[in-house]
Structures are given as C-alpha cells and as structure tokens.
Chains A and B, each alone.
Chain A
Amino acid sequence: MFEQQLINGLTLGMIYALIAVGYTMVYGVIQLINFAHGEIFMLSAFLAVTFITVFGLPIYVVIFMTMGCCALIGVMLDIFAYRPLRQSPRLAALITAIGMSIFLQNLAMIIWGSRPRPFVQEALPAFLRTPALSFGEATVSWLQLTIFGTASLLMIILFLIINKTRVGTAMRALSQNRTGAALMGINVNRVISFTFALGSSMGAVAGIMVAIYYNTLYPTMGYVAGVKAFAAAVLGGIGSVPGAMIGGIILGIAEALGAGYISSLYRDGIAYAVMIAVIIFRPSGILGKSTVEKV
C-alpha cells in the first residue's frame, strides 16, 4: 500500500512540477505571482477536448496545438494585463493577476458550462489504462508511465532551453537585474513574453495530463491545482526552475502520503501548511536564494 501511495504521489508531483515551473519562471523575470497561470492550465484541458471533439484531430496533434494556443494566451495575458503595470507598485500587478484569474475562470464557465465533463476516452490509445508494471500490491499503469516520461522529457528540454540557448541566458540575466539586462541590449519585453509562452505551454501539457489522468475537466480545476503548484514553487525556492521540479515532486508525494496516512480531509491543507511553514521558516525554499533590496 505504501508503494502504491508513493507511485500515485509521484504522478501527482510530476504534474505539479510542470505547473510550478510556469509560476517560478514568471516570478523569476518579473517578480509577479501570476495567479492566472492555474487558469491557463484549466483552459488547456478544455481546448484539448474541444479540438478533439470539434475538429476530430488525433491526440498527438492536439497536444501541440494546445501548447501553442496556451502559449499565445499566456503572451496575451502579459501584453494586455501585466505589461502596462510594469512600473506600477507590485500590489497593482498582484490584484490584476487575481482579477484575470477570476475573469478567465468565469469566461470558461460561460463558454463550456459549469458541468464537469469527461476527457474524450476514444481519442486515447486503449493500452494507457492497462497496468504496465506491478510489484507487490502496487501497480503502475501505462498512463502513469507516460506521465512520468512526458514530464521528465519536458523538464529536460526546459533545462536545456534555460541553460544552453541565447534566450535562456537572457531570461537568467533578466531575473538577476532587469535594468542591467536592458542595458546589455536584451529586448526585455520579448524575453518576458517568451517566458510566459514557455511557462504556459508547460502548464498546457499538465492540464491535458490531469484531464486524462482523472478523466475530468471543469472550469474551477485551475484554482486548487494552481495554488498547490505555487506552493510547490515556493517549496523549491521561487525563481528556481530545478527547485520547482523538486518542490512539485515532494509536494505530490507529501500530499498522497498525508491523505493516505494522516487525514484525507485535510489533503489540500497539507499543501497550504507546507507552503506556510516554508515561507515562515525558510522563505528562500530548498534551492532559492534570498535577495536584498537595494537602497
């Protein structure tokens, strides 16, 4: 039973990690908690289902299309909501982020209705639901394996983008010092847009995977998942991409074990409690570094 809880937690954690990198990258470059990120995660699930049911596209194509759409939504979000507020106090940007989150959530409710709906099972290969491995009492399904594989692959790609490409270097420069980066000839707004696009497309994959894994999608799904992913980002050290990955996995496992062994009713509370504890006792998280305000 413990092994099974661990495997379930790991699956959950991989998904949190994918959402959390979106929070952490955006926070890294513009120091903003993008509350609407959870909504992008939700929109991706709905878009994917719409593409499949309306256009009858195969799932592999749909994943890439959804990633593209969500990247676009993320960039638009930045351009229309956040960019005008770059010079404003942070309070204004935070309130805008919350406002956008509520706006998108209700927009989805108007477009797709508030009823939960299942993912289109016919679009998926049938073997996904069958067990792939089993040891002792625990089983790992092909779906879980696929989630591990996809998430790990995306993390590696992300890591390479950030560390090996020009735009990745620019992103890192930006998170160190925005003015300095601008003086060095970096097109700040373009890099920020790229960051939103990258984070949103990661969130998009997470959204589709959650919808498939739990076989359900509903307009409020982004709210709780978003907060938990943010907690994961905080746990790993906000602004740190490897931190977000580690934080997501730890949180997923903690949640599954906590729900299995402590109290299933407080499972959402576990994420919040971890987050509050980290913020109080180690605000820099596992891999983050503390910063000093320049006077």
Chain B
Amino acid sequence: MIGKFWLKVVLTCSLLLILSSPALADTIRIAVASPFTGALAAYGDNVKAGVTLKVDKINAQGGIDGKQIRVEWMDEQCEPREAATVSSRIAQNRNIVGVVGHLCSSAHLAALPSYLRHGVPVVAPTTTAVSISEQTKDRNGKTWAFRVVYRDDYQGEFLAQYVSEILGLKNIAVFYENNDYGIGLKDAFVNKAQELGLNIVGQEAYVGGASDFTPQLTRLRGRNPDGLFISGYYPEGALIAGQAQNLGMNVTKFGADGFDNVDYITLAGSAAENTYLTVPFLADVAEGDAIEFLENFRERFGREADWMSVNAYDAAGILLQAIAEAGPDRAKIRESIASINSPENAYQGIAGSTYFNDVGDTLKPAFVKMVKDGQFVAAPVQMD
C-alpha cells in the first residue's frame, strides 16, 4: 500500500514537471495573476479584458521583435495562499518575463516575497493598499513591484476634500466594509474629514458578501446624516444604496474606485442616482488613444470599460514597453520600468501619464464621477 502511495506521489510530481517544462521559445510570455474564479472573478474579468486588448493590439502589430506575446492567465481567487502558490509558479518559470497583477492587495502582499526573491518585475493595476509600499524592494534595495494606481490614503483624503468643498455636505455617516480596502480608505477619509471640520455622525461596518444591511442603515438613519460614505465595493454598495432608499434614507452617497462598475447601476437601479465616486480614469475626459480603447472595448466585450480594465491595459502597456526596450530579460525589464521615474519620461497611457517613485508607487490625479439618470457621467465640478 505504501508502495502504491509513493508511486502516486512520484507520478504526480513527474506529471507536474512535464506540465511546467519550457514551451517553444518563439513567443514572449507574461503572466496575469488575478482572481478568475471565486467571489471576485468579476473583477478578474475586467483585468483580463484590459490586458487582452493591449496584448492583441501589440500582437496584431507584429509583436515585439517579431515575437508574439503569450499571456499565462494565473487564477489565484484573490486568496493569499493561492496567490503565494501562483507567484512561486510564475517565478519558477523562467520563460515568463513579467507579471501584471495582482488584483487584491492581500493576495499581492502574499505573492510579493516570491517575486522579490527571484527577481520578477510586477506591475499591479489595481492594488491600492498603503502597506504594499513597504514590500516592494528586495534585499539589495531594488524595487521589483510597481503599481499604476494611487493609494487608498490619497483617494480617501481626496474624497473628504471633495465632499467638504464641492458638495458642501456637513454630517457624514460612514459605512465601511471590514477589510483592508474599506478600512484603509475609511481611516484616511475620516482623518481628513475631521481636519476639515466635517461632522462624522456615525461609523458602521459590514462584512463583504452580506446581503442585508438594514440593521446598520437603520442605526445610521437615526443620526440624520446628509451624506453617506460607503467605503467598499460595488456589489455591496449597490445593495446598501437600494436598502437605504427602502428605509427612506435619501441622502447623497459617495464612494471610491470600488464603485466604478456599471453593475452598480444595474444592481441598485434608481437608488444609484446621486452617487459620487472617485476614479483613476474618466471616460468623459478621455482623448486620443483612450477613446479608441473605449470603442474597442465596447465592441469586443459588449460592456463599458471600467477603470480596472483601463489600468490593466496601461499596466500591460508599461510591461510590454519595457520588454520592447530591454528584451525578454527580467532584470533588464525591471531597470527599464524603474527608470520611468519623472514626469518627463512618464509613460503615456490611456489613463494619463504614469511614473514611479522609489518604492514603485505612482501619483495620479483622481476624477469624480456621478450617477445621473441611470448613467455614469463626469461630475459637473472636478477638483485639482
């Protein structure tokens, strides 16, 4: 029996070896690590769509140095442990020269050690957690991980300022998702809001994946706020908006980039009206390549692109530009990306120009959108 068991182990291992062995070398391979299954698969799809458009575009133009780009889609379900497995697989496969990913900050944090140890350049399209900034350098002080999105503290502060100065609200109820994103965003918002003299009338938390928010909303309603800050993602946000409406809580709602998905309006229906949100990308102020991108996206996927797709498109663009400059070599690609460090040599993507600081973070302006007549439109007043 023991013999049988070990036989199985060895067979399995050899099978895995075969499967992970190098393929033909006339392609350049990059990996995209995101959740493609599980609760957050919907977001992963957005990233996939953005990267697909970029890669197909480059391939249609003849690839890089005549080599086609092949993308390995790595599903990590937004779970840290899975992400650690996936990152070690990517790091191990020397044919993969760079990564676009991960989607979730927690998965990204779990995956980073492997990338740093083995020297794999990573460009993250959507991870906004503040703590990532401390984990991007390897032992020799080289930055391997970059992100093309602003940090939570920035958009939280931005929102507080916008709410106070542009919307002119006074009494804010805060409803946040109890996770890294929701808490990080909320803390930055609350600090800045108090600094600005806003009155935070109540803070309530919810758990991701819940469907009934009435108990907390009932409590918040009792404090008579004139604005409701929902610090979380759109699936819960849409339900919260709807249930707030059912409870007769007709206040201005606002959220951050987690709300930027047309499904927010589909799910919340009329309750979505009068919701403001910050986004790293605004279709209405798009120009040039961005307009072309949006049209291509609509044509290809039959839905409107959201900022995740846009950022994924740009992240892939930065990685591929570095590959084109430095060739398929991980260390050289890293150097090429790290050299994009000032406004002068910034990467011109569809979400504006991107350049990185020492820890791979980027400074990008935030835009404000709102829901009006069942549509996302640019808010009448933007803030710089």
A-to-B contact residues, CB < 8 Å: 1, 4-5, 8, 12, 109, 113-118, 121, 129, 131, 137, 139, 141, 143, 210, 214-216, 218, 220-221, 224, 256-257, 259-260, 264-265, 267-268
Q: What is the number of contacts between chain A and chain B, taking CB atoms within 8 Å?
A: 86
A5 to B213, CA, bound (A): 11
B66 within 8 A of A: no
Interface string of B149-168 (1 = CB under 8 A from A): 00000000000000000000
Task: Please tell me if the beta carbons of A215 and B207 are within 8 angstroms of each other in the complex.
Answer: no
Which one of A4, A115, A139 contacts B263 once the chains associate, using CB atoms below 8 Å?
A: A115
Chain B binding surface SS class: helix
A214-B243, A259-B216 given; name 18 further pairs at CB < 8 Å: A8-B218, A109-B37, A114-B38, A114-B41, A115-B263, A118-B267, A118-B269, A121-B269, A139-B247, A214-B212, A216-B211, A257-B215, A260-B215, A260-B218, A264-B206, A265-B206, A265-B207, A267-B210
Q: Which partner residue on chain A sits nearest B222 by CB separation?
A: A1
**Distance in Å from the Cβ of B230 to the closest Cβ of chain A?**
14
Q: Which B residues are CB-close (under 8 A) to A260?
A: 215-216, 218-219
Q: Which B residues are CB-close (under 8 A) to A115?
A: 41-42, 263
Residue of B37, B216, B218 with most chain A CB atoms under a 10 A cut-off:
B218
Task: Please tell me if the beta carbons of A221 and B211 are within 8 angstroms of each other in the complex.
Answer: yes
Tell me the chain B residues, 14-49 only, with Cβ under 8 Å from chain A: 37-39, 41-42
Task: Please tell me if the beta carbons of B42 and A114 are within 8 angstroms of each other in the complex.
Answer: yes
Tell me the chain B residues, 175-231 only, with Cβ under 8 Å from chain A: 178, 204-207, 209-212, 214-216, 218-219, 221-222
Q: Which partner residue on chain A sits nearest B37 by CB separation?
A: A114
Task: Please tell me if the beta carbons of A116 and B267 are within 8 angstroms of each other in the complex.
Answer: yes
Q: Which A residues are CB-close (under 8 A) to B219?
A: 1, 260
Q: Which A residues are CB-close (under 8 A) to B239?
A: 214-216
Which one of B206, B218, B242 contacts A4 once the chains associate, using CB atoms below 8 Å?
A: B218
Q: Which B residues are CB-close (under 8 A) to A114?
A: 37-39, 41-42
Task: Please tell me if the beta carbons of B215 and A8 are within 8 angstroms of each other in the complex.
Answer: yes
A209 to B288, CA, bound (A): 48
Task: Please tell me if the beta carbons of B222 and A220 are within 8 angstroms of each other in the complex.
Answer: no
B141 within 8 A of A: no
A259 to B210, CA, bound (A): 12
Task: Please tell me if the beta carbons of A214 and B263 are within 8 angstroms of each other in the complex.
Answer: no
Q: Which B residues are CB-close (under 8 A) to A259?
A: 215-216
Which one of B204, B205, B215, B269 contacts A215 once the chains associate, using CB atoms below 8 Å?
A: B269
A264 to B204, CA, bound (A): 8
A163 to B39, CA, bound (A): 43
B248 within 8 A of A: yes
Closest 8 CB pairs of A and B: A259-B215, A260-B215, A115-B42, A118-B267, A214-B211, A8-B214, A114-B41, A264-B216
B360 within 8 A of A: no
Task: Please tell me if the beta carbons of A215 and B41 are within 8 angstroms of each other in the complex.
Answer: no
**A–B pairs, 11, beta carbons within 8 Å:** A5-B214, A8-B215, A12-B212, A114-B39, A116-B267, A117-B267, A118-B266, A214-B243, A215-B267, A216-B235, A264-B204
**Distance in Å from the Cβ of A213 to the closest Cβ of chain B?**
9
Q: Which partner residue on chain A sits nearest B269 by CB separation?
A: A121
Tell me the chain B residues, 238-296 only, with Cβ under 8 Å from chain A: 238-239, 242-243, 246-248, 263, 266-269
Task: Please tell me if the beta carbons of A264 and B205 are within 8 angstroms of each other in the complex.
Answer: yes
Task: Please tell me if the beta carbons of B247 and A4 are within 8 angstroms of each other in the complex.
Answer: yes
Q: Which A residues are CB-close (under 8 A) to B238?
A: 118, 216
**Distance in Å from the Cβ of B115 to the closest Cβ of chain A?**
27
Q: Which B residues are CB-close (under 8 A) to A141?
A: 246
Task: Please tell me if the beta carbons of B235 and A116 are within 8 angstroms of each other in the complex.
Answer: yes
**Distance in Å from the Cβ of B34 to the closest Cβ of chain A?**
14
A22 to B37, CA, bound (A): 30
Residue of A8, A121, A218, A220 with most chain B CB atoms under a 10 A cut-off:
A8
**Distance in Å from the Cβ of B72 to the closest Cβ of chain A?**
22
Q: Which B residues are CB-close (under 8 A) to A5?
A: 214-215, 218
A121 to B212, CA, bound (A): 18
